Amino acid sequence: MIFIQFIGERAYEEIRRACLPLQPHQRSIRFMCSVVRAAYELEELVEANRLRFSNLVQRDNQSAQSFINTLQLAAENCNFGAAYNLCMKSRLLAGIRCDRTREALLAQSARLDYSGTKALFLQLDAARMQSQELARAANIHKVDNANRRPVQQPRQVYPQRNRQYQGHRPGQNQRQQRHSTTTVQETPCWRCGRQQHPPNQCPARTWRCYVYS
């Protein structure tokens, strides 16, 4: 077999002794690999594995299912035995990132085992993710409404006023006319010498002078 040819003399001796009374070629590859692993692979300390397990917490943006899978994978080398469910439940509750989810699980912890706690944790985490998505969508809608520009109404164009009335207040022309009339009336008429009328309205303008005629 190719596997036996490349494992070396010392490894082959380990396999040969483990295969007795049979020959190595009569054993499966899986059996021989387990023999070599048990002979040369360093056995990890159970206490070190348990220490790493007790420090596991849910990372940011890590889903509930991913955190549960991480816990179960780390617990395989901890040799918890009959205390497996209790240790898994305790580490799950302690390592949850969301405080509200942990409070909800602790409120039901007395009547739930590890399986029930795991199922409830998955439900609460899914509801929390959906709530965050809805809140994010609502915020995006608010931002869109805030950035939307108001529709500008067309400006109304009014006809331009006559220039002779621009810059004058109501009644100003009347006051100017009265002032002008008063000024003219205060000047003596050069035709008759009286002040009751302007020269162009003097009745003497059609009279005939008999003194110098």
Residue-wise pLDDT tens digits, 140-172: 666 666 666 666 666 665 555 555 545 545 555
pLDDT at 158: 57
When mean pLDDT is compared over 130-134, 154-158, 170-174, 197-201, the highest value belongs to 130-134
**pLDDT tens-digit series, residues 44-100:** 678 888 999 999 999 988 999 999 999 999 998 888 989 999 999 999 999 999 999
Across residues 190-204, what is the average pLDDT? 76
pLDDT at 165: 46
The region, left, alpha or beta by phi > 0 then psi within -120 to 50, assigned to residue 59 is beta
**Mean per-residue pLDDT over the chain, rounded:** 78
CB 200 within 8 A of CB 187: no
Domain boundaries, the chain: 2-40, 46-143
Answer whether the bond into residue 154 is a cis peptide, omega within 30°: no
CA dihedral 150, 154, 156, 157 (to 10 degrees): 130
| pLDDT classification of 113: cutoffs 50, 70, 90 | very high
